[in-house]
Amino acid sequence: MPLSGEAIRTMNYVDDISGTLRRILAMLPTLTDEERKRVAEYIRASDPSYSSVVSTLEGK
Give the model confidence (pLDDT) of 2-38 as tens digits: 999 999 999 999 999 999 999 999 999 999 999 999 9
pLDDT of residue 60: 73
- pTM of the predicted structure, to 2 decimals: 0.79
Number of domains in the chain: 1
Domain housing 14: 5-57
Q: Please, are residues 50 and 20 in contact by the beta-carbon 8 Å criterion?
A: no
- 39: Cβ–Cβ under 8 A, 6 or more apart, which residues? 24, 28, 31
